[in-house]
Amino acid sequence: MSTTKWLGKAIRGLRSFAYNAEGQRPKVGVALGGGFARGIAHIGVLRALEENEIPIDLIAGTSVGALIAAAYASGTSLDDMAHQASSTRFRDFGRWTLSRMGMASNDRLEDFLSRMATARSFHEMRIPLAIVATDLLKGESVHFRTGEIGPALRASCAYPGLFLPVEYRGHFLVDGFLTEQVPAPALREMGAEVIISVHLEPGLLDTKPRNTIEVISRSFSIIQTKAIQSWRGMTDVLLEPDVHHVLWDEFPKSPQMIIAGEECVRAAMPRIRALLSRAPSQPDSVDAVSRSSR
């Protein structure tokens, strides 16, 4: 990151203390959900938050949200992330293989991480980071906040049926979206007082699935729309960029998805500013969760 950009972030951080008269504000956490290529919309969300000088004290990610969160927390510029996203292809992070556990390995994701992030371990992060995966044997979330980023990221992105599960720290792990589609619980655990959650709703497409991956993906989407999702009750501002029409591998649509993320934040700014003006730890009604218009 250039000195100019670093200074810009520092200045925005200092300005954030002006949200109330006593120079105090709630601790803000941003939760980035999963969604394959749709996750590029997270870059637009983060860009719009920066432009509006919204401080980010904590960040957490599930699946592709974990990759974007790790890159941002390490200090990678959003412009660099957008450039990398537009040229991304499946072969950059996936490798087809023959296995009873899946159709591909995501071991290349660790090398891909080095292109997206400037740090390789949690303690090097400029913003405290959590990555969420699912323990397939226990059916529970696992929150990674220490150690190397690579194995935790691979586990968080191990989409069932497509990628092989990842064995790490005594867990048999798959994609975090199974238990935390959006990692608001991880942020609450870290001490966030205002949580901005980004949910990448896939929606239902009119066209038939093109392959096995899309059959699996759409099936999980249907299940999750019917399930009770605890992360919603922990969310103060719910952002849902209009990217439901984007297929899982449509990385070339990066510019449109980034714009969708930016527009979503702008629509929610009155709610976000109102929350930041309150005193720290002041309770807020779950009924006040704001969903931005599409």
Distances (CA, A) of 271 to 195, 222, 281, 287, 294: 12, 30, 17, 13, 16
Q: Output the furthest CA–CA distance in the chain (Å, rounded).
A: 61
Phi and psi at 95, nearest 5°, equal: -140, 115
Active-site position among 175, 236, 242, 254: 175
Nearest partner of 127 among 176, 63, 192, judged by Cα: 192
Active-site position among 63, 105, 217, 292: 63
Q: Each residue of 129-163: b (16+ CB within 10 Å) or e?
A: bbbbbbbbeeeebbbbbeeebbbbbbbbbbbbbbb
User: Catalytic site residue 63?
Assistant: yes
The span from the CA of 163 to the CA of 144, in Å, is: 20
Structure-token pair, residue 83: 């450039």
Contact call for residues 162 and 177 (beta carbons, < 8 A): no
User: Catalytic site residue 175?
Assistant: yes
Phi and psi at 133, nearest 5°, equal: -130, 175
Contact call for residues 182 and 199 (beta carbons, < 8 A): yes
Total residue length of the chain? 294
Provide the CB-side half-sphere exposure for 17 (13 A, CA).
7
The span from the CA of 23 to the CA of 216, in Å, is: 49
Positions marked catalytic? 63, 175
